[in-house]
Structure 1
Amino acid sequence: MVATVAAGCSDGAGAAPKITTTARAGIAPTPPQQGAYFGAWVPPPVGGAATRSPSATASPGTASAGPSGTASGSASPGPAGKDADKPGMAPVSAFERDMGRQLDIVQSYRGWKSEFPTGLDTSVVGSNRYLLLTWAGADTKEIVQGKYDALIRARAKAIKATGKPVFLRWSRDMDRASLKDRVHSPADFIAAWKHLRQIFTAEKVDNVAWVWCPSARGFGAPNAGAFYPGDDQVDWICADAPPGADYEYRDLSETLKLFMQWARGRHKPIMIAEFGVPKAYGQRRAEWLRAATRTLEDPQVKAVVYFDSDEQAEDARDKRRAYSVTGDTRAVSALRELATAPYFNPRNLPVTSGG
């Protein structure tokens, strides 16, 4: 069954193609008719039990993150507060309180050999939020050779058993040069992607929406588009879009420009799965977020996920890779404006005055 959404125009965004996915409406996550879902990655406190975001260079089987930094959030309740006591949900609930609303999407990171769903994953699928499960990759040639078939089958069955719609973002940033030793080539990646989907299909896993997600930067000199498995293999197209530590200041529109040009040729909903404003931008963080809101109000963009974390920072002085808005009143206010705008609240969830 194919879900279809007619994408209209918004000011300055231009026309977008009619959007289709291979996901089954009502069973797997499908795009909203109007607007875009709002979500976030909110890491646990240092030493917490929930998973951290693995670095892009994490080796297969690594479940934890690369450099960890200051965690965002605290154990205070969110707008409703009813889920703050569930595993992994205290930081999410605190972030929701700051945003003045419940999230549509909560992101979770899992290593290639990590079991799921557990902890935060289980809490999210047990609520009315969507789980965005970011699953690390492995050696693509070994996947195609069948080395991991039993593992893949077990994960497929586990997702099916939740009985809830789940976004699955496998092997993100596959275009990065640092991952070439295990990704090998675009052809190898595509073969591995199709191998995973074949196993999920054999297990009759219908509640998954497949999210293909290279880096936005990969649409420059590298050709991230070469890793695209095909419209019949992908439900959502995605990009990770941090501004980049080598820029003094860069609007999100510039970061996404080449990716969006490429995406116009695909009849797919767009997800921006990791965007954030660096603390290095200081007083201009709120300005950046308000400009980002205008960029993301695009008729083809159907989900945006804020990366509310400092864990990619090399140390406490590294403000260019620190994206948490916690403690920055102006940045929190600007991000709350985005989160509570009708465009980014397509399910019309209750809105409060925020923190």
Structure 2
Amino acid sequence: MRRLAVFAALLVLAGCTTDRRDEPEPVPSPDLSSPPAAVAVNPGPFEAGPVEAPSTGAYLGAWIKPEELTHDGRVEAVDTLEEDLGRPLDIVNTYRRFEQLVGTDSDKEFLDQGATLMVSWATGDNRSITGGEHDRLIRKQARAIRKLHDPVLLRIRWEMDRPNLRATMWSGADYIAAYKRIRSIFAQERVENVSWVWCPTAEGFVRGDAPAFYPGDDLVDWTCVDVYAGNEFQPIGRLMGPYLQWAAQRPKPIIIGEFGVARAWGSDGRAAWLRDAQRTFKANPQIKAVVYFESDPEGNGPKQQFQLAGDRPAFTAFTKLTKDPYFNP
């Protein structure tokens, strides 16, 4: 009988443990009300390459995840967002695997519509690049981009400082060596329509390891950062403050290559964060382009879902940002 009683008690405890649900996290409320202090104080002029920085204000762009990764799907996704915003995008971000060439029908259509293409190119293992294993592929990409003729922003393995990429990035020195080899091959192919964009994460500057991946002012046209209110809900100025302080020491315009605020922080919190982002961008005149990450990647939880469409308060705040004359240079 005693054994049965103990067994029954264990079943009750197990049932309690299984059925107990985690308490919802309280929505944090950092101070997003006061205007941010300017951090990036470099007034220019800036050496930006073929994609010139606007003399005042900043370009506005986005990555919009299409329903299908086809020509029609990509174009429809961009057209829908532009229609909802009531304005065209200055920059369309597009992601490519190492073997995927630029110059698709949708690429050409965006260029024909007057947008600047920002190509986020997921290059491979840095040591295999420097060893010459991918020269032929890199040469094909160079020729494909050259054929576009229009100026293109090119992010060589964006977020190279992420710890989960260390197995292929190896080190800052390895990344720089691969970056130089890619640039050298593009030069051999007489590619003159690329502005080279170096784009680590905001977290990499908080940790302090991102600067080790910087190829140098002579090899970079735009410095860049990806910044999200994802796992932590903080004002955007605080999240990217260390990067802005670093970038202010360089004669380069800044592009916010990706920014987003997660669904987890609620509609009102997201709207407040976007209003703060608008003030922060305008308070830092070195920021010459901002590109939103309009996507809920598959398999991600609410702290990694950034699509604004369908969230009326958040999308309204974003629309106000996009219609600000500052972002219509």
TM bucket by the smaller chain? 0.7 to 0.9
Counterpart CA distance in 2 for 1:22 and 1:106 is 18
Count of aligned pairs between the two proteins: 292
Structure-2 residue corresponding to 1:81: none
Matched, 1:285 2:307: no
CA contact (8 A) 1:313 1:320 kept: no
Q: CA deviation at 1:230?
A: 0.4
Q: CA deviation at 1:219?
A: 0.5
**Equivalent in 232, 238, 244 of residue 230 of structure 2:** 244
Structure-2 residue corresponding to 1:18: 44
Q: CA deviation at 1:48?
A: 4.0
Structure-1 residue corresponding to 2:216: 230
> For the structure 1 residues 48 and 194, does the alpha-carbon distance in structure 2 shift closer, same or farther, using more than 3 Å as the test?
closer
Structure-2 residue corresponding to 1:201: 187
Counterpart CA distance in 1 for 2:107 and 2:173 is 31
**Equivalent in 80, 83, 87 of residue 94 of structure 1:** 80
Q: CA deviation at 1:301?
A: 0.1
Structure-1 residue corresponding to 2:52: 30
Matched, 1:258 2:242: yes
Q: Deviations over 1:103-125 (max 9, x none)?
A: 00001000011122214322212
Q: CA deviation at 1:179?
A: 0.9
Matched, 1:305 2:291: yes
Structure-1 residue corresponding to 2:63: 41
CA contact (8 A) 2:229 2:261 kept: yes
CA contact (8 A) 1:99 1:339 kept: yes
**Larger relative helix fraction:** 2
Counterpart CA distance in 1 for 2:171 and 2:269 is 39
Structure-2 residue corresponding to 1:339: 322
Matched, 1:103 2:124: no
TM-score where L is the length of structure 2: 0.85
Q: CA deviation at 1:312?
A: 5.7
Counterpart CA distance in 2 for 1:276 and 1:313 is 17
CA contact (8 A) 1:42 1:308 kept: yes
Counterpart CA distance in 2 for 1:11 and 1:174 is 28
CA contact (8 A) 1:21 1:234 kept: no
Counterpart CA distance in 2 for 1:117 and 1:129 is 14
| Structure 1, unaligned runs of 5 or more | 1-9, 51-85, 347-355
Q: CA deviation at 1:279?
A: 1.0
Counterpart CA distance in 2 for 1:16 and 1:299 is 8
Counterpart CA distance in 1 for 2:48 and 2:294 is 30
Counterpart CA distance in 1 for 2:258 and 2:287 is 13
Counterpart CA distance in 1 for 2:299 and 2:253 is 31
Counterpart CA distance in 2 for 1:166 and 1:221 is 30
CA contact (8 A) 1:22 1:232 kept: no
> Over alpha carbons, which structure has the higher Rg?
2
Counterpart CA distance in 2 for 1:176 and 1:289 is 25
Q: Deviations over 1:22-78 (max 9, x none)?
A: 61xxxx211011111000000111x4425xxxxxxxxxxxxxxxxxxxxxxxxxxxx
Structure-1 residue corresponding to 2:26: none
Counterpart CA distance in 1 for 2:48 and 2:253 is 11
Counterpart CA distance in 1 for 2:43 and 2:319 is 29
SS at match of 1:20: coil
Counterpart CA distance in 2 for 1:171 and 1:19 is 27
SS at match of 2:159: coil
Q: CA deviation at 1:280?
A: 1.2
Q: CA deviation at 1:87?
A: 6.3
SS at match of 2:117: strand
Counterpart CA distance in 2 for 1:100 and 1:344 is 13
For residue 242 of structure 2, what is the amino acid of its counterpart?
A: L
Counterpart CA distance in 2 for 1:330 and 1:234 is 38
Counterpart CA distance in 2 for 1:205 and 1:276 is 32
* Greater than 3 Å deviation, 4+ residue runs: none
Matched, 1:213 2:182: no
SS at match of 1:241: strand
CA contact (8 A) 2:66 2:73 kept: no
Q: How does 1:168-187 map to 2 (within 5 A)?
A: 168-187=154-173
Structure-1 residue corresponding to 2:29: none
> For the structure 1 residues 205 and 237, does the alpha-carbon distance in structure 2 shift closer, same or farther, using more than 3 Å as the test?
same
Give the fraction of aligned pairs with identical amino acids, expressed as a percent. 42
